[in-house]
Amino acid sequence: MSVSGGRTRVGRYDLGRTLGEGTFAKVKFARNVDSGENVAIKILDKEKVLKHKMIAQIKREISTMKLIRHPNVIRMHEVMASKTKVYIVMDLVTGGELFDKIASRGRLKEDDARKYFQQLINAVDYCHSRGVYHRDLKPENLLLDANGILKVSDFGLSALSQQVRVISNKGYDGAKADLWSCGVILFILMAGYLPFEDSNLMPLYKKIFKADFSCPSWFSTSARKLIKKILDPNPSTRITIADLINNEWFKKGYQPPRFETADVNLDDVNSIFNESEDPSQLVVERREERPSVMNAFELISTSQGLNLGKLFEKQSGSVKRETRFASRLPANEILSKIEAAAGPMGFNVQKRNYKLKLQGENPGRKGQLAIATEVFEVTPSLYMVELRKSNGDTLEFHKFYHSISNGLKDVMWKPEGSIVEGDEIRHQRSP
């Protein structure tokens, strides 16, 4: 193992910024130092997996996922293990979330929504045919590659905490549940909002169980009929994927996916929880006490093109789960000022290396708001600061950032020719 420029190396991969995190795992940007390929690595905590007695489940699903080769499913390349962690190497998808389009535009045209829905059903049907069920299909799992092709993430590995609750439930039908979620997603794509909404949980459940929703006036008649068949609360009468694929609305412009076959070796999967494994086969992770260095590709992948103003601004018209700003202050000073600003707002702060974890004390709409903060070195005199919601409500995170940014105006660097306004960096334009 070798470390350079503030990087952590695991096997032949240099780890970079965190792309997302949950209770059981986090996902990091990584680069294969042999091939130069950029990938994403999901990192699981072995102790948590052992605690919930999920070793057999995870090995089975990782094995299955490694065998899946589908154009609309993120591909798994290999699996590595250290004494405490499991590293799952996957495709890196750089086109952002499909629902960022909804956040910025409101809704999609019916033909565009159908195109993405067809790709989603292709992925779901393929995985179901191989005994793999998602169990937690939601907007965050629908990504777009650089060519605008839909890629579904986390098949078989989604929401491990959810799996703990449902695996022992013999009445749970993963296929029916996935299809229902696809119906909700189609509705959101076309409407721009959820079919079922209520501030209280029990009334919300009642609406779902009664299929108490109405389609907007701009939905075509055939689309309305299909969505009602998918969102049928009775799994036994709900439309099947086979019937869905033969539906006239679905078939319009439909292009069946092309598959590839390949020989896949599962030795790495079988060895990840093998305690008798030769210690020399385990990978080692080590990190320098300095901010991670962000290379050019990572910098561009966080932005839309090469506009640094776009990179560091909070995009208007959308509420996202992460935001970032630039600063010319030293990294330790940046973190100290964020810590000082977050404390009076009711957040407990944990500091480790060049990262902060901000944990809200008050319960929110979707649990306590938690925010992961990390400082990256872009150049020796310029840092990128990323704040990312790791738990809680996205809108509450947006409000938090708007509030804390007022106390960080002396921290945020504004590029020449721009002005800082509220929590955004806006470029001045000539009239």
**Around Cβ 146, how many Cβ atoms within 10 Å?**
9
Tell me, what's the pLDDT at 250? 96
Sign for the pseudo-dihedral over CA of 422, 427, 428, 431? negative
Which of 93, 117, 148 is where one domain is finished?
93
Tokens of 416: 């020449």
Q: Could you list the residue range(s) of the whole structural domain that residue 134 is in?
A: 99-251
Tell me, what's the pLDDT at 246? 94
Tell me, what's the pLDDT at 313? 40
103 and 238 together in one domain: yes
Is position 278 within any domain?
no
Is position 284 within any domain?
no
Is position 264 within any domain?
no
| Number of domains comprising the chain | 3
146 and 77 together in one domain: no
Q: Taking 90 as the threshold, does the pLDDT of residue 112 lie above it?
A: yes
Point out the catalytic residue in the list 136, 154, 178, 423.
136
Q: Taking 50 as the threshold, does the pLDDT of residue 165 lie above it?
A: no
The mean per-residue pLDDT over the stretch 179-194 comes to: 90
E strand map for 225-300: 292-293
Tell me, what's the pLDDT at 420? 41
Going by C-alpha positions, the residue among 127, 125, 134 that lies closest to residue 159 is 134
Residue 180 DSSP SS3: helix
CATH number at residue 227: 1.10.510.10
Backbone angles phi, psi at 350, to 5 degrees: -115, 130
Is position 164 within any domain?
yes
50 and 66 together in one domain: yes
Longest dimension (CA), the chain: 70
For residue 418, what pLDDT band results from cuts at 50, 70 and 90?
Answer: very low
Cα 59 to chain centroid, rounded: 22
For residue 315, what pLDDT band results from cuts at 50, 70 and 90?
Answer: very low
The mean per-residue pLDDT over the stretch 148-153 comes to: 90
184 and 151 together in one domain: yes
Tokens of 9: 């190396």
Regarding beta strands 292-293 and 322-327, do their DSSP bridges make them parallel or antiparallel, or are they unpaired?
unpaired
CATH number at residue 29: 3.30.200.20
Q: Are the beta carbons of 47 and 235 closer than 8 angstroms?
A: no
Ligand-binding annotation for 389, yes or no, is: no
Percent over 90 (pLDDT), the chain: 21
Backbone angles phi, psi at 314, to 5 degrees: -85, 115
Is position 149 within any domain?
yes
Q: Taking 50 as the threshold, does the pLDDT of residue 140 lie above it?
A: yes
For residue 201, what pLDDT band results from cuts at 50, 70 and 90?
Answer: low
Pick the more confident residue, 184 or 53.
184
Give the separation between CA 321 and CA 396, rounded to whole angstroms. Answer: 10
Residue 340 DSSP SS3: helix
Q: Are the beta carbons of 117 and 185 closer than 8 angstroms?
A: yes
Burial 356-377 (b: 16+ CB within 10 A, else e): bbbbbeeebeeeebbbbbbbbb
Q: Are the beta carbons of 425 and 414 closer than 8 angstroms?
A: yes
- Does the annotation count 136 as an active-site position? yes
Pick the more confident residue, 170 or 179.
179
